[in-house]
Chains A and B, each alone.
Chain A
């Protein structure tokens, strides 16, 4: 069963392998897709709960970096939430991989990781992620980050990258 927050109440849109009506189908099709890539099923459930708590997204899940990469190309999500430490391909590699392909270079990306050091966050941002959040996380902070990255334009993303290049060069 799948629920959708509509007109200030939760309604069932998908049950028994089909949509309950045309309005439900339309509701589902207009929902933005958020892909969560994390190898910890418990964390995945927490993220799904958090994301659905305040907003109305269709949440997709992958449990390692390679499966996540496959899902990005197959599902074309509107936003991807990525853990760093994962089997097969880590989160930093995944971010670089997506940014290095014109087809996915402007996909909104958020890292959500237990790695909290400033260096870890810097590597995430230098790899091309739009936002770096740390675990444990507040649902409101995650939802706010999703809203922010969904609003980022390709030009804004490019300006951020140029700024990073400049500020990091100044540190050399």
Chain B
């Protein structure tokens, strides 16, 4: 099974450490702590999957979703929002912003790993379909 390259965007360094501990063996995990760092990273490197928190102080991870969807080079990048925000309005806003999946913290690591792989496969099917 290929190690998928994941960009994790979360302002909480501890969240990044936990993710590294739980998913680091199975995936190639790169972590950035701010949306600005994420934009710079994406300008250089295209990961297989983007996992993003929503809350970043005055900023929102949804802005990064919209940025990705507007960018021709990044538009097909699979996006998972992984967040504490759990209301229906939060979820609808996440999908409206362009997220492909929405996972509420706390999450089961095995479940998240499966969801990452399944979303990757879904996007491959959809890309193949649109050719």
Determine if B92 and A122 form an interchain contact, defined as CB atoms under 8 angstroms apart.
no
Residue of A whose beta carbon sits closest to that of B89? A66
Give the residue of A73, A97, A101, A123 whose beta carbon is less than 8 angstroms from that of B122: A123
Interface segment among A19-27, A32-40, A145-153, A160-168: the answer is A160-168
Given contacts A162-B114, A169-B1, A172-B2, contact A119 B125 (CB under 8 A): yes
Point out the residues of chain B lying under 8 angstroms from A73, CB to CB. 88
Shortest B47–chain A CB gap in Å is 16
Q: Does A105 contact B (CB under 8 A)?
A: yes
Interface positions, chain B 99-131, Cβ under 8 Å from A, are 100-104, 106-108, 111, 114-115, 117-119, 121-122, 124-126, 128-129
Residue from A66, A102, A162 within 8 A of B92 (CB atoms): A66
B102–A161 touching, CB < 8 Å: no
Range class of the B interface residue count: 20 to 34
B60 proximal to A (CB < 8 A)? no
Cross-chain contact of B125 among A89, A123, A158, A165 (Cβ < 8 A): A123
Given contact pairs A70-B88, A88-B92, A97-B95, A164 touches B118 in the complex (Cβ within 8 A): yes
Give the contacts of A66-90 with B (CB-CB under 8 A).
66, 69-70, 73, 88-89
- Asked whether A97 lies within 8 Å of B117 as measured between CB atoms, the reply is no
B-side interface mostly: helix
> What residues on A are CB-neighbors of B118 within 8 Å?
126-128, 161, 164-165, 168
- A168 in contact with B104 (CB, 8 Å): no
Q: Which residue of B86, B92, B108 contacts A89 across the interface (Cβ within 8 Å)?
A: B92
Contact assessment for A101 and B117 in the assembled complex, using a CB-CB cutoff below 8 Å = no
**A96-B101, A119-B129, A162-B114 as given contacts; A89 in contact with B95, CB under 8 Å:** yes
Residues of A within 8 A of B121 (CB): 126, 168, 171-172
Contact B122 A165 (CB under 8 A): no
Question: Does A100 sit within 8 A of B, measured CB to CB?
Answer: yes
**Chain A at the B interface: mostly helix, strand, loop or mixed?**
helix
Residues of chain B in range 44-87 having any CB-CB distance to chain A below 8 Å: 86
Docked Cα-Cα span, A171 to B122, in Å, equals: 12
Contact of A96 among B102, B106, B117, B128 (CB under 8 A): B102
- Shortest CB-to-CB span from A128 to chain B, Å, is 8
Given contacts A96-B101, A172-B1, contact A69 B88 (CB under 8 A): yes
Q: How distant is B2 from chain A, measured CB to nearest CB, in Å?
A: 6
Known contacts: A89-B95, A123-B125, A168-B121. The answer to whether A105 contacts B2 by CB under 8 A is: no
14 contacts between A and B (CB under 8 A): A73-B88, A96-B101, A96-B119, A100-B102, A101-B86, A119-B129, A123-B125, A126-B119, A126-B125, A164-B118, A165-B117, A168-B121, A171-B121, A172-B121
